[in-house]
Amino acid sequence: MLRVNKIIVVAFFFSLFVLTSCSSLSHKSLPQSELVKFQGATAVATKYKPENFEILTAGNMAVGGMLGAVLGHDGNAVVKENDIRDPAVSISAKLVEKFKTTYAMKIVESDAVAKKDDLKALVVTYPKVDYLIDVKTISWMAIYYPLDWTHYSSVYKSRLRIIDLNTSKVIAESVCLTNNTTDQNRPTYDQLIANKAAILKAFLDKDAQQCVDNFVADIF
């Protein structure tokens, strides 16, 4: 049974790696009619509580067997102990800068943290501004290679929406999926989290920058 479970999980993650080779799943580009409205308009970037960071280790799998039993292994503890930031923070900051410099938007600072990401809740959470630059991490994880269980990579998924708060409509959106499976320097788990998780942070920084590039190309 354990061997069967391992085969199932390996097949699942092989499929995941294939899927994440495509950087963007869907998109809605910004209409030219909206771009002319941006100059002088106010905008705010959403903030969310980070999603659980998942870690899948071969050791966990040998013990837990099934997929549900192994995801989330000490992931949040690793994030907390090593001060790892949600990549959405970096993505959001870079997109905000583009809107500010390219379209002369007035960026409003807000400490409000959105509890939900539906439009009605966001309108209430971020009032008195024109646009919302809504970046949210959907999932982020460190996982071992399907055919190399002693070395690890990252997989990251995030979503961008540009929301007109005056009309409560999403005027542009995109989803980004990235991974570092093409990295030739495959770290072991110990190497991944050594030195305050320096390699893991580098992987996530790379994921974030790739999503920025994808979002810019996708919606503009």
Residue ranges of the domains in the chain? 2-219
Spatial separation of the C-alpha atoms in residues 123 and 129, rounded to whole Å: 9
Count of positions (residues) in the chain: 220
Element (H, E) at 64: helix 58-64
Model confidence at 60: pLDDT above 90: no
Task: Give the pLDDT of residue 11.
Answer: 45
The model's pLDDT over 167-189, given as tens digits with 9 standing for 90+, comes to 999 999 999 999 887 767 899 99
Q: Which pTM value belongs to this model? A: 0.84
Task: Tell me the average pLDDT across 144-160.
Answer: 91
Helix (H, G, I), strand (E, B) or coil at 44: strand
